[in-house]
Structure 1
């Protein structure tokens, strides 16, 4: 498997263990007066789509008949429109452990994440990412990434309009987007959305619990340093797992999964 070439979105790299994305050429232009920029949902969707299109072109995307694509479509085929949000899904064949959803409804799942997560866990993770979009956390991340990319001069920024990015600037934008972090409050709200998503559709909410338990285990792996840095803005994984357990117990749907461990074989089917 190759490293991701880009970057994007990504809005959340909530489940990324090691940023191995190749960002290509990146500009570092300075920007002034960006506070004056007016930024709408339409702007966020437009920029997110441009960033995702760029990433799709610069990374290895699983084909229609690839086992990863088949599995993802089987899981999420009925969620082409979730909670009023049109969604599209693709798998990146990369070594990063990650998943994200964008303001334009693009959902990208990394194959290495699929290797270690069960179907229920993937449902919970993607439900979490959709929650970031529905809560407009993704809009904030896109705006901040755009501003950090410094794709415009002060005079342009002061005009209050979002400018079209060139290829090099898209790389910078994607990189900033990937590095963006949500607040712990936003993460907790996305966790709640994920639980409600699972419950609403009759999925096993315990999948959210075991997904967080696996994240906790990853924090103690050989990649712990990179993982802990990325997860610094997130609530503690063990506490997130316990929160899911408490909600499930209160709802009368808790089923003890037993000891949770990281798989030694790929869960591709």
Structure 2
């Protein structure tokens, strides 16, 4: 089984922004994989820097559905003695054009992708992307995302995508809402078709407060995950998770992340 980690660079800064606005997001993560008695740990380090402040929607890890801020990011991870890393970013121009690019090296096999998009409105964006692996043909992907704003910061977001030959396509949706008394919920679902094979997945996060949440996910392949996350202050959080499969209990993943937001 080949694991590919395309993760957004760690940046170092000591400048904090105001209480619930952030520009730099970093994560140090360890995933301990156990399969039929064998085990391996994946270490990863990633970060993204935004050129303007990102405003939270209540919880310290929830932001607007459609990002509209120029950013750069990169990541590094190591698995089974191999290195995986990537670097890329997005540029949002004043004329509403969006330019993106990413270079990825997966254990010596590299790939380059470039994209162009257009913000039709603050709630609607369309994109086209071309990806060229080191060996193989260029693939093309087209997508559109729409945000339907509800009361306050609540929203329902939708994203649809397809490749140029309609061999791979799908749709996903996310619902975020305040439940009052400093409690929130975020629910996501996705449906996809990949070379005549249908898949689906669902996830949900419940926030006891702006700083503490629990979540779970489940997929058509009977894979599931559980996680808990807590911010100890405005800048630092710890997240722990567990993942497995109901049909194959020999496969387990234990995860631990240290997250910094500044």
Is this a same-fold pair by TM over 0.5? no
TM-score by length of 2: 0.25
TM-score by length of 1: 0.24
| Larger RCO: 1 or 2 (CA < 8 Å, sep 6+) | 1
Q: If each structure's helix is expressed as a fraction of its own residues, which one has the higher value? A: 1
Q: If each structure's strand is expressed as a fraction of its own residues, which one has the higher value? A: 2
